Amino acid sequence: MIDLNTTTLADLHPSVERFHYDRAAVSPGVVHLSVGNFHRAHQAWYFDRLLGSPGHEGWGICGVGLIDDETERLKLDAFPAQDDLYILTQYAPDGGVTHRVIGSIVGYLFAPGDPEAVLARMAAPETRIVSMTITEGGYNQDPATGSYRLDAPLTRAELAEPSRPRSAFGFIVEALRRRRDTGIAPFTVLSCDNLRGNGAVARRAVLAHAAALDADLARWIEAHATFPSCMVDRITPAVLKEDAERVNAECGVNERLPVICETFAQWVIEDHFCNGRPPLEEVGVQFVADVHPFETAKTRMLNAGHSVLGYPGQLAGLETVKEAIDHPLIHRLVHDVITHDAIPVLEPPPGIDLAAYRDSIIARFGNPHVGDRLPRITGDGASKLPTFLLPTLALQLERGGETGRLVFVMACFLRYLGGRDDLGRDFTPQEPHLTAEQIALARDPARALLSLPIFADLKLTADSPFVAATVACVQALEQRGTLAVLDDVLSGIGVLS
């Protein structure tokens, strides 16, 4: 089979969509930090279509790998070999499949290998936006206070040697310093992670990092740089070996970095760019004055819906999102949590009917070919739950609402941390932002709820009825299994209201 690169584009299977712009004329106006599958399914796909109309050649993307791990090493090897090209496969809910070669990434830099090259690119006047998908946990926030952790070991090392950054914020601050010192306007910092007010969180992190080094620099950034928030949405599962083999057979190519996703995509951005912006509205991006209602609805409905099906599903021994949503009890749990717990405490985004939005989300979870696996959903709950689920729970506790369903989901999360499913099979909970001691705390659910920093916003006390109900629910899960307890929860039976 042929390899994928610029010279073999014409030899791909005729059904593979190809871009028609002159890629040699495209230069990077965007530097994207952490060029993972989600970025390649979402933002890079929008930019690829934008480049399709003439006059936008300055809006290519330079991808940056920040972390030295096996996946990144693979990219370090494959990106140059493939001239930074890759194939994006999109699955429609009705089973339709399209493959498309994406050409918008026109450079890849491996930060751990050559931080100076990354800084030079970020400091270049052509770079007008620095965007990032560093995951919820990458923002280095103190889980209890939300503030940027200047005392984290990595941050301390960067502050001691600012010209050799390693984190997104270390790179952004050093690049902005160079721009200020050489009289170049700053770039817009565009966070594309699933966080409440992702722009504001990124801004706080950058300003805190800068202020710890140079108060004038922090003031200059505050006065001149912008940090729009945005809402991003496109389900992008991990690519398994069999997915890659299927895509390659269908496209007639040996592609080493394929990405798969659903056909649905949404991107809503605050129109607040300090150094120009691409006209992404031409390819369906929505620019708004306030993104908050959009992102809150998305994280508390879609992402929370994922968590709500993920923990019970994995405990019950299921493997995929589709299997979970196809289970009648789990389906009803997701439906009811969104309808009775999340929606009543949400402000509807302009033009969006939340019940219809819920139905479309549930339909997307049932996409027959996306094959999203539950461990992707359940992993890093410590970073995800504070954005996805805990705000709804806090608001329901505050208004004295009925919390039986959320008690159940939290009990499932705590039991998930115990690492054993209902079939007695052991698994390792993927919690990179919890210590082994914190994970072990889940064996004592009351202590976990009262002392894990991620629960701080719930303001629980030893005599909170929610704590007692969750402890009882964890016990019931152990004794009777997830689905039996869920059945009772949904029928309003038992100690769990």
Q: Report the residue closest to ligand CS2, judged by CB.
A: 306
Q: Report, in Å, the least distance between residue 199 CB and ligand CS2.
A: 17
Helix H or strand E segment including 96: none
Phi and psi, residue 89, nearest 5°: -105, 125
What is the CB neighbour count within 10 angstroms for residue 24?
9
Region near ligand CS2 per CB under 6 A, out of 92-100, 146-154, 228-236, 247-255: 228-236
Closer residue to ligand CS2, CB minimum distance, 141 or 383: 383
Region near ligand CS2 per CB under 6 A, out of 198-206, 218-226, 233-241, 346-354: 233-241
Closer residue to ligand CS2, CB minimum distance, 207 or 285: 285
Q: Residues 352-381: x/- map of binding to ligand CS2 (CB under 6 A)?
A: -------------------------x----
Secondary structure of residue 84 in the 3-state scheme: coil
Exactly one of 209, 306, 415, 433 binds ligand CS2 (CB under 6 A); that residue is 306
Q: Report, in Å, the least distance between residue 368 CB and ligand CS2.
A: 16
- Which residue in 211, 59, 34 sits closest to 109, CA to CA? 34
Closer residue to ligand CS2, CB minimum distance, 82 or 383: 383
Q: Does 61 bind ligand CS2 (CB under 6 A)?
A: no
Beta bridge partners of 260: 89
Q: Does 233 bind ligand CS2 (CB under 6 A)?
A: yes
Report the alpha-carbon distance of residue 473 to residue 446 in Å, rounded.
11
Q: Does 384 bind ligand CS2 (CB under 6 A)?
A: yes
Q: Does 235 bind ligand CS2 (CB under 6 A)?
A: yes
Q: What Cα–Cα distance (Å) separates residue 493 from each residue in 188, 190, 426?
A: 52, 47, 30
Q: Report, in Å, the least distance between residue 67 CB and ligand CS2.
A: 17
What is the CB neighbour count within 10 angstroms for residue 156?
12
Q: Does 234 bind ligand CS2 (CB under 6 A)?
A: yes
Report the alpha-carbon distance of residue 383 to residue 336 in Å, rounded.
24
Beta bridge partners of 62: 31
Region near ligand CS2 per CB under 6 A, out of 87-95, 232-240, 244-252, 392-400: 232-240
DSSP string, 387-432: HHTHHHHHHHHHTT---HHHHHHHHHHHHHHTTB-TTS-B-----T
Q: What Cα–Cα distance (Å) separates residue 174 from each residue in 96, 177, 198, 219?
A: 46, 5, 21, 14
- Which residue in 205, 141, 202, 209 sits closest to 174, CA to CA? 209
Q: Report, in Å, the least distance between residue 210 CB and ligand CS2.
A: 29
Exactly one of 194, 229, 320, 403 binds ligand CS2 (CB under 6 A); that residue is 194
Contact of 1 with 253, CB cutoff 8 Å: yes
Q: What Cα–Cα distance (Å) separates residue 10 from each residue in 4, 60, 255, 272, 419?
A: 10, 22, 14, 40, 49
Q: Report, in Å, the least distance between residue 165 CB and ligand CS2.
A: 26
- Residues 309-348 touching ligand CS2, rule: CB under 6 A, are none
Contact of 413 with 170, CB cutoff 8 Å: no
Q: Report, in Å, the least distance between residue 97 CB and ligand CS2.
A: 19
Q: Report, in Å, the least distance between residue 346 CB and ligand CS2.
A: 17
Phi and psi, residue 17, nearest 5°: -70, 140
Tracing tokens 């090392």 back to the chain, one arrives at 157
Closer residue to ligand CS2, CB minimum distance, 167 or 383: 383
Beta bridge partners of 60: 28
Closer residue to ligand CS2, CB minimum distance, 131 or 194: 194
Closer residue to ligand CS2, CB minimum distance, 106 or 377: 377
Closer residue to ligand CS2, CB minimum distance, 226 or 303: 303
Closer residue to ligand CS2, CB minimum distance, 128 or 234: 234
Contact of 191 with 151, CB cutoff 8 Å: no
# residues contacting ligand CS2 (CB under 6 A): 8
Region near ligand CS2 per CB under 6 A, out of 20-28, 97-105, 229-237, 334-342: 229-237
Q: Does 296 bind ligand CS2 (CB under 6 A)?
A: no
Closer residue to ligand CS2, CB minimum distance, 267 or 408: 267
Binding residues for ligand CS2 (CB under 6 A): 194, 233-235, 303, 306, 377, 384
